Amino acid sequence: MTELAGMNPQELRAWCAENGLPAFRGKQLFQWIHRGADFDGMSNLPKPLREQLAQIAVAQPVRVAHEVRSQLDGTVKFLFSLTDGNCVEGVLMRYHHGCTLCISTQVGCRMGCAFCASTLNGCVRSLTAGEMLGQILCANRYLAAHATPDEEERFLRVHNVVLMGSGEPLDNYDNVMRFLRLLREEDGVNISLRNVSLSTCGLVPQMYSLAEEGLPVTLSVSLHAPNDALRRELMPIARTYSMEQVIAACRNYVEKTGRRVIFEYALTDEKNCEPRHAEELARRLRGLQCHVNLIPLNPVKERGLKGVTEEQVKAFLSVLEREHISATRRREMGDDIEGACGQLRRRYLEENRLP
């Protein structure tokens, strides 16, 4: 079965021609797919054609297997099922400026970061561009189905995307690049790449490659430590690429794209949360066009790491502000629905006794 969601309009026209269909059907398929329709909902296609397509292709490679809605802030966590039986997570967050969806790029993750639940079972496989897009299409269907009669347009579909769910996006480089280019197609979901954030644990060669792509996405780097020794305790990737190499790649990204880099820093008790750590971090980042996003750790029971108090967060933030490093405490959303990536999927696998 051919997955159509990962194709651009030109590729769909070519696919139609290869299968004996008029080329104009490719544009129709592209538009319907990006509206979240399956073949049976493509009303301007003849019924025999829709039945024929369903025998040879897949229009929507992602379905919602389970959803949980926060009673605190309306955040929705999805468990998405894929056609091969695997599942990934996504989180839909509502802000004043519109809706943001956090998507996954791999089934699991092989990076092994000490604070993350996504990596506990390793990486099963990478997602296709169509499966990444499919998560957005599922969220758009959800928003349309739950819209009130007077809902404002910015809350009717996803406007912002963050690649921060399970998986390392730059470990799935080619599929992620294809996905990003699909996002900005005018006849598709048409999301500006300036509204996209891509998170990496620091795959340095791919960071340099991304800077050359001409795609104005925000690069978000998981740093989580002010020095190599501490970072190696938390992130295995730090044994391959030093902080000096990561920061150099970030400087290159700023120079090439003109966009500031975001550094994610998960505050972990007895590890990286003391004022001296903040001072060291400030020294390392000084002069770099960047912003630090402080994240109070959401503990994962299998990892044994502990979260921090609000006082610890404020003290760390105060040091960065004093040192003139742009920083904020990330707004916590979905706390009552296991908002951290990997937790819902892991519980689902355990309950269903899946590997």
- Residue given tokens 């194709």 in the structure block: 7
3-state secondary structure string across 2-59: EECCCCCHHHHHHHHHHCCCCCHHHHHHHHHHHCCCCHHHCCCCCHHHHHHHHHHEEC
For residue 262, give both structure tokens: 């975001």
> 132 — phi, psi (to 5°)?
-70, -45
Known active-site residue 323: no
Contact between residue 226 and residue 270 where contact means Cβ atoms under 8 Å apart: no
Beta bridge partners of 69: 76
For the chain, how many helices (H) and strands (E)?
Answer: 11, 14
Known active-site residue 99: no
Q: Is 161 helix (H, G, I), strand (E, B) or coil?
A: strand
Catalytic residue among 16, 87, 89, 264: 89
For residue 311, give both structure tokens: 């006082």
Burial of 294 by CB count in 10 Å (0-12 exposed, 13-18 middle, 19+ buried)?
A: buried
CA 1-129-105 angle, to 5 degrees, is 120
Report how far residue 119's alpha carbon sits from residue 201's, in angstroms, rounded to the nearest whole number: 12
121-151 in b/e form (b: 16+ CB < 10 A) is bebbebbbbbbbbbbbbbbbbbbeeeeeeee
Q: Maximum Cα–Cα distance for the chain, whole Å?
A: 69
Catalytic residue among 16, 87, 109, 341: 341
> Left if phi > 0, otherwise alpha if psi is -120 to 50, otherwise beta: which for 68?
beta
Amino acid at 348: Y
For residue 81, give both structure tokens: 């099922």
Burial of 217 by CB count in 10 Å (0-12 exposed, 13-18 middle, 19+ buried)?
A: buried
Please list the active-site residues: 89, 341
